[in-house]
């Protein structure tokens, strides 16, 4: 189906080049369809851009659902349980940030974070929101000594340690003296993230 093929290509082009930088001609050519098919299916360049955001949100939602469902279903009766779940969620996020297939999603989202358009709203409501809410809820239980705003910021900081793996990927590689992150590098990064998060979350109230 052309519809899906165009969307898949769009993630790459809009991610790599941004809305202004990507061209519908190129996207059409790479999808092996006529340019006017984009108009037919998505109404134009802007429609395609927004449909791409929905597509990305759906993929993230599907990918994170198993882990987030587990947290939602869990009975959390103590800091230890909350910490354990939080470490699992963070590790899942880190694994996602390290995974090759998220490269273009990430580019698209990071662009939207810098200069949000309507597409950001779709990403946020469609995927980011649930991840953020879960982290915030777990941090509140793991660190009952923090007030609401302090807890939210702590959730952000924990997330930042995973996000850096995508947002500054090239610098991460430079610092580790490699051209891309192999299995051992990835294990090291995830292990350290886990260790740091555990330390921060275990801080005595």
Contacting residues toward a second copy, per CB under 8 A: 15-22, 103, 106-107, 110, 112-116, 120, 124, 128-129, 132, 136, 149-150, 152-157, 159-165, 167-172, 174-176, 188-189, 192-193, 196, 199-200, 203
> How many CB atoms within 10 Å of residue 170?
9
CA atoms within 13 A on the CB side of 113: 9
Q: Does 172 bind DNA (CB under 7 A)?
A: no
Specify burial of residue 62 (Cβ count, 10 A radius: 0-12, 13-18, 19+). Answer: exposed
3-state secondary structure of 115: coil
CA atoms within 13 A on the CB side of 123: 19
Binding region for DNA (CB under 7 A) out of 17-25, 54-62, 74-82, 86-94? 17-25
Q: Does 111 bind DNA (CB under 7 A)?
A: no
Joined tokens for residue 156? 């952000």
Q: Which is nearer to DNA, 35 or 200 (CB)?
A: 35
CB of 40 to DNA, least distance (A): 4
User: Could you give the string, one character per residue 33-72, with x where binding to DNA holds by CB under 7 A and - elsewhere?
Assistant: xxxxx-xxx--xxx--------------------------
CB of 40 to a second copy, least distance (A): 25
**Phi, psi for 202 (deg, rounded to 5):** -85, -10
Q: Does 8 bind DNA (CB under 7 A)?
A: no
Please give the Cα distance from 175 to 144 (Å, whole number).
36
Residues that bind DNA (CB under 7 A): 1-3, 22-26, 32-37, 39-41, 44-46
């Amino acid at each position: 189906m052309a519809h899906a093929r165009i969307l898949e290509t769009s993630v790459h082009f809009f991610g790599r080049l941004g809305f202004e930088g990507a061209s519908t001609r190129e996207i059409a050519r790479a999808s092996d369809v006529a340019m006017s098919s984009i108009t037919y299916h998505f109404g134009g360049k802007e429609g395609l851009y927004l449909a791409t955001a929905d597509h990305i949100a759906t993929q993230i939602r599907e990918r994170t659902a198993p882990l987030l469902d587990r947290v939602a279903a869990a009975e959390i009766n103590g800091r230890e349980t909350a910490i354990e779940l939080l470490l699992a969620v963070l590790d899942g996020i880190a694994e996602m940030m390290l995974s090759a297939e998220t490269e273009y999603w990430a580019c698209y989202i990071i662009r939207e974070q810098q200069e949000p358009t309507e597409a950001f709203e779709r990403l946020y409501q469609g995927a980011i929101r649930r991840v953020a809410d879960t982290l915030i809820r777990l941090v509140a239980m793991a660190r009952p000594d923090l007030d609401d705003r302090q807890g939210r910021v702590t959730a952000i900081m924990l997330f930042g340690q995973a996000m850096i793996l995508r947002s500054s990927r090239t610098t991460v590689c430079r610092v580790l003296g490699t051209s891309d992150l192999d299995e051992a590098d990835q294990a090291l990064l995830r292990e350290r993230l886990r260790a740091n998060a555990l330390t921060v979350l275990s801080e005595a109230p």
